[in-house]
A and B are shown apart, each in its own frame.
Chain A
């Protein structure tokens, strides 16, 4: 498995009726099943805590979305463990992170930031 990370980034605050969340996307571009790992870390008062650690099964051609709440106003980092491939060297599983706001009364979702696969860097 290859570990990739977004590094830490700051998330917007919401309001009483607007919640801010992360949506972590994992796309399996191959016609065979794969597994991937997702971890989300939060930095608060100088120390790091793990908000989420999850292993995800991806059936052929499938997309999974992992939603993370309680991140508004926080500094967070998303790290993914992806299956490796010799050739071509890219992983068959492509990650992405959306920072979205959800307006609860109408369940309206607005994209605030998009972190693409190219924004991730190898970790470790």
Chain B
């Protein structure tokens, strides 16, 4: 026959640690967006580089979402573009951004549940013959939900 001693059991709320080192009792869900993650915008052959953001709406009514571009600089992310885009049913919005050649950026759309379809094309314009070369593209399946 063994001897058992009783002891009060104390239940402590479980505390989660966020990647930033700050505890978050509400959980680890820090963002609500669809994002490409960081990618490098090429310099190309020295001609103008354009980052084209497309947001199309396959739904039957107008939809809105926040479109944001962040740039990595000095170990931090700085927002270089932000706009609330409203896209009528069956339409598309295109936003061209310059001055990002050689930078590391991410493109995100919020909220992630929006039916809007985001995509990105990075292209170089050759003034001599009016030609276009596409250096990179992010299709809707490349966006991940955070």
Chain A residues in the interface with B (C-beta under 8 A): 3, 5-13, 15, 43, 48, 73, 75, 77, 79, 99, 112-113, 115-116, 118-121, 123-124
Contact between B56 and A77 (Cβ–Cβ < 8 Å)? yes
Determine the distance from Cα of A15 to Cα of B117 in the docked complex, in whole angstroms: 31
Contact between B123 and A124 (Cβ–Cβ < 8 Å)? no
Chain B residues in the interface with A (C-beta under 8 A): 52, 54, 56, 58-60, 90-92, 94, 115, 117-119, 121, 123, 129-134, 137, 139-143
Q: A112-B134, A121-B140 are in contact. Are A6 and B119 (CB under 8 A)?
A: yes
Contact between A9 and B133 (Cβ–Cβ < 8 Å)? no
Contact between B54 and A124 (Cβ–Cβ < 8 Å)? no
Contact between A8 and B56 (Cβ–Cβ < 8 Å)? yes
* Cβ–Cβ < 8 Å partners of A6 in chain B: 119, 139-140
Name the contact of A9 in the complex, choosing from B90, B91, B137 (C-beta under 8 A). Answer: B137
Known: A7-B140, A9-B137. 6 other contacts (CB 8 A): A5-B56, A5-B58, A8-B94, A116-B141, A124-B58, A124-B60
Determine the distance from Cα of A18 to Cα of B110 in the docked complex, in whole angstroms: 40
Contact between B140 and A120 (Cβ–Cβ < 8 Å)? yes
CB distance from A75 to the nearest CB of B (A): 7
Interface centre among A8, A48, A77 (most CB of B within 10 A): A8
20 contacts between A and B (CB under 8 A): A5-B56, A5-B140, A6-B139, A6-B140, A7-B118, A7-B119, A7-B139, A8-B121, A10-B134, A10-B137, A13-B131, A13-B132, A48-B91, A75-B121, A113-B134, A115-B139, A119-B139, A121-B117, A121-B139, A124-B115
